[in-house]
Amino acid sequence: IKFIIEIWSPNVDKNDETCIAILHKPEKDKYGYEKPEERWLPIPTVETIMIRVISVLVDPNGDPSANTDAVKERRQKWKGACCVRKSQETAFE
């Protein structure tokens, strides 16, 4: 699936193409990230595929990643969010 607008996500590459297992060819993953049963099968419906695409846009993962810069930024922001939460929790103790 290719987006017609620029998407900044660990699961979307620089050509705006999605990188999710359900869309990959049903062959052995040369990098070892994806299990064969996670890859393309003729069973999924368009609805199933769209739900998967939406889910990685809402909650992206970086394993494997199509955009390493987006993965780094997400991890840094996550660490920052955790630090803020921790400082807020300790402030009210």
User: Which two structure tokens, joined as six digits, stand for 33?
Assistant: 């990230």
Render pLDDT for 5-58 as a digit per residue (tens, 0 to 9). Answer: 888 888 888 888 887 777 777 777 666 677 777 777 777 788 988 888 888 788
Centre a 10 Å sphere on the Cβ of residue 90 and count the other Cβ atoms it contains: 8
Query: Which residue is listed with tokens 């996670």?
Result: 38
pLDDT score for 4: 86
pLDDT score for 46: 86
User: In what helix (H) or strand (E) does residue 2 lie, and over which residues does it extend?
Assistant: none
Kindly name the residue from 3, 7, 13, 19 that is annotated as catalytic. Answer: 19
3-state SS, 26-80, equals: CCCCCCCCCCHHHCCCCCCCHHHHHHHHHHHHHCCCCCCCCCHHHHHHHHHHHHH
Q: Is 19 a catalytic residue?
A: yes
Closest by CA position to 38, among listed 28, 51, 47, 30? 28
77 confidence band (pLDDT: 50, 70, 90) = confident
83 confidence band (pLDDT: 50, 70, 90) = low
